[in-house]
Chains A and B, each alone.
Chain A
Amino acid sequence: AQSVTQLDSQVPVFEEAPVELRCNYSSSVSVYLFWYVQYPNQGLQLLLKYLSGSTLVESINGFEAEFNKSQTSFHLRKPSVHISDTAEYFCAVRLRNRDDKIIFGKGTRLHILP
């Protein structure tokens, strides 16, 4: 069965510093990969997704994630964080050719320190 592991439950980082949120997955078949963001008191919003093609995908607000098949990872990075990036981030996988549920990681809470 597939699973998603987010190694850090909380990540504190100073404003304007770089950040990496780690995500590893386990699956016996090919997957699609997603990162979602949840701002305080809101639902989840899609941040970025890897479906095929280039292994580096970017979001409109400066985040990027790289699909690494050999390491089964999909880490999320941003070179310089802002206070507005304070949120919880969820990594998720979905099996190719299986139109059903997405498996979510337990989330990483990003704290931006002034």
Chain B
Amino acid sequence: DVKVTQSSRYLVKRTGEKVFLECVQDMDHENMFWYRQDPGLGLRLIYFSYDVKMKEKGDIPEGYSVSREKKERFSLILESASTNQTSMYLCASAHQGDNQPQHFGDGTRLSIL
């Protein structure tokens, strides 16, 4: 089975802090994604990556950056956390190929105080 592991299930940080959310997948997937999930808004894509050191902006990249130094790991960075970034963050990965489904981690519920 594909395993996508997010480093924390719950995280509480303060406004202005730099926050790192880590995601690791064990299936040698080329593509990795970061979403945030908010009630009534569904999933919104923040950033995605096709390969090591490559990144593409999604629909809501403002206030976020990402890092993909190794194929299995995709990090989401909140440079200076703000209260409007309180949300559920979901990481996903997939093989290349347009018919490939995405596999999700269990999510990180992040609260910014």
A positions within 8 Å CB-CB of B: 9, 32, 34, 36, 41-46, 49, 51, 90, 94-102, 104-107
- Tell me the dominant secondary structure on chain A's binding face: loop
Contacts of B33 in A (CB 8 A): 101
Q: How many Å from the CB of A98 to the closest CB on chain B? A: 6
Scan B87-113; emit 1 where CB is below 8 A from any A CB, else 0.
Answer: 000101000111101111111000000
Quick one: given A96-B98, A98-B98, A99-B98, are A45 and B104 in contact (CB under 8 Å)?
yes
Interface set of B (CB-CB < 8 Å, partner A): 4, 31, 33, 40-43, 45, 48, 50, 56, 58, 90, 92, 96-99, 101-107
Contact A90 to B107, CB < 8 A, known contacts A44-B90, A51-B99, A95-B98 = no
In the complex, chain B residues whose CB is within 8 Å of the CB of A99: 31, 50, 96-98
Closest chain A residue to B95, Cβ basis: A99
Q: Out of A41, A45, A49, A104, which one reaches B43, CB within 8 Å?
A: A104
A107–B39 CA distance with the chains assembled, in angstroms: 9
| Chain A residues in 8 Å Cβ range of B98 | 32, 94-99
The 8 Å CB contact of B104, one of A32, A44, A51, A105, is: A44
A104 touches B99 (CB 8 A): no
Known contacts A43-B90, A43-B107; A102 and B42 CB within 8 A of each other: no
Which 10 A/B pairs are nearest by Cβ-Cβ distance? A43-B104, A106-B42, A44-B104, A104-B43, A43-B106, A46-B101, A99-B98, A51-B99, A43-B105, A107-B42
